Amino acid sequence: MEDVKYYSQEGLDALKRELNQLESVERPKISQAIAEARDKGDLSENAEYDAAKEAQGLLELKIAKLKNLIAKARVLDESKIDVSKVLIYSIVKIKNMKNNAEMTYTIVPESESDLKGGKISVSSPIAKALIGNSKGDVVTVQAPAGTMDFQILDVTR
């Protein structure tokens, strides 16, 4: 199957809530705006009508994309994650070898990344360097500021 994306149950639930909001709240709002603009007369020179129709098209596109994403989504069973090496949904404690600063990150799909919450995208430079490595390994990360070495102190789930 193409384009399967893995989510935590929490991440998939958030997508479903967003879809519900778009379908049950935003869609009726735009329909109302179109109806109000249509009531104002000549549609050929009605900027409100054109804007509302364009907004409707964008909303329907977003709804279709979300439905497609949800249809292809798979929930990853976090209890079955191998903790012998870094994988998606691993919680990784690392140490910057240059300044000895320690950080803990959870590696998540792009849609769930939240740097402030300690969740880094699987496609980020740090996550890419960590994936497949084990506790004790030292990895080199290619960052915009140059290369940095990190030691993996712990891998949990």
Lowest mean pLDDT among 25-29, 39-43, 101-105: 39-43
Residue 123's Cβ-count burial label (10 Å; 0-12, 13-18, 19+) is exposed
Pick from 68, 88, 91, 66: which is nearest to 77 by CA?
88
CA pair distance 72, 69, nearest whole angstrom: 5
The CATH number of the structural domain formed by 5-75 is: 1.10.287.180
Contacts of 27 (CB under 8 A, 6+ apart): 59, 63
Where along the chain do its domains lie? 5-75, 78-156
Helices (H) and strands (E) in the chain, counts: 4, 7
Which of the residue ranges 5-19, 30-44, 118-132 has the most confident prediction, judged by mean pLDDT? 118-132
Which CATH code of 3.20.20.100, 3.10.50.30, 3.40.50.800, 3.40.190.10 fits the domain covering 78-156?
3.10.50.30
**What's the pLDDT tens digit per position in 104-153?**
999 988 878 888 999 998 888 888 899 889 899 999 998 777 899 999 99
